[in-house]
Amino acid sequence: MRRISHFISGVITSDTRSKIGPVFNPATGAQIAEVEMASSHTVAQAVESASTAFSSWSEVPASARARIMFRFKDLLERRADDFAKMVSLEHGKTLDDARGEIVRGMEVIEFACGIPHLMKGEFSDQVGRGIDTFSKRHAVGVCAGITPFNFPIMVPLWMLPIAIVCGNTFVLKPSEKDPSASLMLAELLMEAGLPAGVLNVVNGGREAVDDLLLHPNVAAISFVGSTIVGEHIYKTAAAHGKRVQALCGAKNHMVVMPDADLDQTVDALVGAAYGSAGERCMAISVAVAVGDVGDELIRRLSPRVRSLKIGAGCNPDTEMGPLVTQEHRAKVLSYIAKGVEEGAELVVDGRRASLCDIDTGFYVGASLFDNVAPSMCIYKDEIFGPVLAIVRVPSLGAAIELINLHEYGNGASIFTSSGDAARAFDHQVSTGMVGINVPIPVPVAFHSFGGWKRSAFGDRNVYGPEGVGFYTRLKTTTSRWSSGTRVSGLAMPTLG
């Protein structure tokens, strides 16, 4: 059986101390590989490799670092089909969805290629007599990324290209559920000319994460995943003096106004709720029907949900693949049962579709609930599966209040023909990302991604300008070169 190891100092590295974990093909339920779960020794080895590489890599000119990223992006574009097939095999998502995440990841690489401009400092001439002030950005050191199973290419590419071009070295800890793509990325970066040790990959679970959080040579931690884990990472790493950006759970709402184009809205809602089987932190899991639009929304939406083609991601006809593991499938099924128990109306029952049509694999069909109340678990909790809840409210104000009262604040969208409604929504809603007639408002790479409330911990968002700020430290120098001028006395110096 194929064995997945680690990538340290430019080579695949096995760990004889490792425990072994299974890697499954979610479409069949069969184990297809085994992954080594890094011991503390291997994590320390990876951090040491990154620490050793930092001194020379941080001195490489930004333009030379950017050229490696240019080559990396070109190689990834050529190999995109290979990467998509691996993602589909280990995660279960469709090939089209896998190709889509690769494209979004490549957009961050393209942004990172502009690092010579992005790291430019500022200069102020003659702030005082013969005195100039200038600022510059420095790399922070060894950075670590802890990434989730649902985007095994895109999320690592939110982090490592920007960290690396800023002059840092990086240790990536991907999800043990679909680890192969991260090793493929590391090998491709070496092919592009990245020096050994600048990027290292360690596979593992909580023990490997905690080793990274506690290691004194790790200066910054980036994380994407659940709120429970993200809060632990934030508190632990911050307590040990590390920078932290942690992007966490979500319950994203789409407000549907009575004046919305319902053909456009339903198309958007089907893709946003059920794409990647709902395993997206920006998936729309709640549709908020305002006024009298609810009945017509359900009438148009339910046949589309029932007709979704479920199957293996490698099948070109598949619209929705399986969930990532049997355990996660059981969790999603339990939420559907809980919704029925709590009194929501199950308009489309995905349990029936999955059990009747698919004999093997970790499948759950698309489910649609109507008349969901804010007190219900299927409204409050992040299910992370193909379950959409419809909540009915009387007004836009009630819709905004509903969203703002939720503990998560990742993203929210509104579908409307009214500029006034759209502007009020954008101004008043308490989420970090907003879509106006856009269902999944993931910012492009030259902006930044991040939520509010318990959807994020830390002071900086990922990629874009916020990413550059996170992976650099600002140094400001005040310089005097004029001759014959003396500074004396004990009073606070001024620059007059």
What positions carry a catalytic annotation?
A: 281
Place of tokens 């600002």: 474
CB atoms inside a 10 Å sphere around CB 237: 25
- Using an 8 Å Cβ cutoff, are 348 and 369 in contact? no
End-to-end CA distance of the chain: 73
Listed residue (327, 334, 330) closest to 377, CA to CA: 334
- Using an 8 Å Cβ cutoff, are 217 and 142 in contact? yes
User: Residue 25: beta bridge partners?
Assistant: 30
Return the exposure string of 131-146: e unless at least 16 CB atoms fall within 10 Å of the residue's CB, then b: bebeeebebbbbbbbb
Q: Is 16 exposed, middle or buried (0-12, 13-18, 19+ CB in 10 A)?
A: exposed
Which amino acid is located at 37 in the chain?
A: M
Place of tokens 């491709």: 188
- Using an 8 Å Cβ cutoff, are 448 and 462 in contact? yes
Give Cα 23 distance to the centre of its chain: 21
Distance (Å, whole) CA 102 – CA 274: 19
Listed residue (131, 152, 161) closest to 70, CA to CA: 161
Q: How far is CA 68 from CA 65, 97, 104, 225, in A?
A: 5, 27, 19, 29
**Pair type for strands 284-290 and 387-393:** parallel
With a CB cutoff of 8 Å and minimum separation 6, the contacts of 468 are 115, 118, 119, 137, 162, 166
CB atoms inside a 10 Å sphere around CB 374: 13
Place of tokens 């409210």: 393
Look at phi and psi of residue 465 and say left if phi exceeds 0, alpha if psi is from -120 to 50, else beta.
Answer: alpha
